[in-house]
Structure 1
């Protein structure tokens, strides 16, 4: 993980879970997430479909 802010400012949180990895960008910060090949990952990439029930 890389950030251009001081760690105390907590620009983002990363959560690893059984469905993958979630990156939460905290208010007031801009972020770009990159895949292992260096491509930009769009917001909501591979997000599971919501249950309509």
Structure 2
């Protein structure tokens, strides 16, 4: 997962990417990277409380 600072949380990374990509925060929003995606699975009181990592599985 690309990050700028070793002290960044997963929430920090997801929020930065949402802002950079001009997306609206909400449950179900996905941030795509090569080989995987991060999906906001749950938000409570405007705080991201669960993020799913979705891996890309390629058949050989």
TM-score (norm. length: structure 2):
0.24
- Specify the structure having the higher radius of gyration (Cα): 1
Higher helix share: 2
Higher strand share: 2
